[in-house]
Amino acid sequence: MRRPLPSSLCCASVDVSEVLVCGVDEVGRGPLAGPVVAAAVILDPRKPIDGLADSKKLSEKRREQLYELICGRALAFAVGRAEVAEIDEINILQASLVAMQRAVTALKRSPQLALVDGNRLPKLSCPARAIVGGDAIEPCISAASIVAKVLRDREMVELDRRYPGYGLARHKGYPTKVHLEALSELGVSEIHRRSFGPVRRMIG
């Protein structure tokens, strides 16, 4: 049984050090299987965390270390997700925005500003700013990317046990050669995104 996952106003004239800022990022837009997972993190300026960076640039061991520090030092963090059925129904972009919205909504403290990685904004109750490449330059977004990545990766390891043979623990659902070959041999499972080309073609 899958364990549930735990639960960033911006303009040039705003001093973000004086407001509660949350970083928002998602993980899992590219895979052929599994949910898209987003995280929102409000860092505590009194408890800085060294080494925050784009989660994709960090080793798994370093991500895990930083994840524990974020959980212990952040003022608040939360996770949102969109399941495979939602991805297939509304498309992966919209599902990613929904997951981000859910993450921010789940925060136990209400942010006054949301800094969102990318060029699209989810519907939020607070002012927000989209930042392309934000996970590499904004610590709060970096933290969100790490939380989302660690938790989604853990879930894919668990799904690998439930759906053996696809190699989900290794590639985390991305369309690698191994994954595509397994799809051809084993067929499409219930956790595969049928709206994605490689999966759709297998069904067809």
Question: At CB < 8 A and 24+ separation, what contacts does 193-198 make?
Answer: 193/31, 193/32, 193/33, 193/84, 193/87, 193/88, 193/92, 194/88, 195/87, 195/88, 195/91, 195/92, 196/32, 196/92, 198/32
How many CB atoms lie under 10 A from the CB of residue 81? Answer: 24
- Residue 142 placed within a domain: yes
**Tally of domains within the chain:** 1
Residue 17 CB-density burial (10 A; 0-12 exposed, 13-18 middle, 19+ buried) = exposed
176 and 183 Cβ atoms separated by less than 8 Å: no
- Residue 28 placed within a domain: yes
Q: What is the pLDDT averaged over residues 114-121?
A: 98
- Residue 185 placed within a domain: no
Does the pLDDT of residue 13 top 50, yes or no? Answer: no
As a whole-number percent, the residues of the chain with pLDDT over 70 amount to 91
Look at residue 11 in the predicted model and tell me its pLDDT. 33
- Residue 193 placed within a domain: no
Look at residue 174 in the predicted model and tell me its pLDDT. 98
Q: What CATH number is associated with residue 28? A: 3.30.420.10
Angle at 179 between CA 174 and CA 181, to 5 degrees: 150
- Residue 7 placed within a domain: no
- Residue 126 placed within a domain: yes
Look at residue 17 in the predicted model and tell me its pLDDT. 55
Token pair belonging to 105: 């909504």
Q: What is the pLDDT averaged over residues 130-159?
A: 98
Q: What is the pLDDT averaged over residues 134-140?
A: 97
Does the pLDDT of residue 46 top 80, yes or no? Answer: yes
Token pair belonging to 42: 């409000």
Does the pLDDT of residue 5 top 50, yes or no? Answer: no
pLDDT tens digits for range 33-43: 999 999 999 99
Angle at 102 between CA 8 and CA 173, to 5 degrees: 100
- Residue 188 placed within a domain: no
Q: Which residue has the tokens 């989900």?
A: 168
| The one-letter amino acid at 143 | A
Give the range of the structural domain holding residue 60, as residue numbers without chain letter. 16-163
188 Ramachandran zone, left/alpha/beta (phi>0; psi -120 to 50): beta
Q: What is the pLDDT averaged over residues 160-186?
A: 97
Q: Per-residue confidence at 204, pLDDT binned at 50, 70, 90? A: confident
pTM, 2 dp: 0.90
pLDDT tens digits for range 53-106: 999 999 999 999 999 999 999 999 999 999 999 999 999 999 999 999 999 999
Instruction: List the one residue out of 2, 24, 18 whose CA is nearest residue 128.
Output: 24
- Residue 181 placed within a domain: no
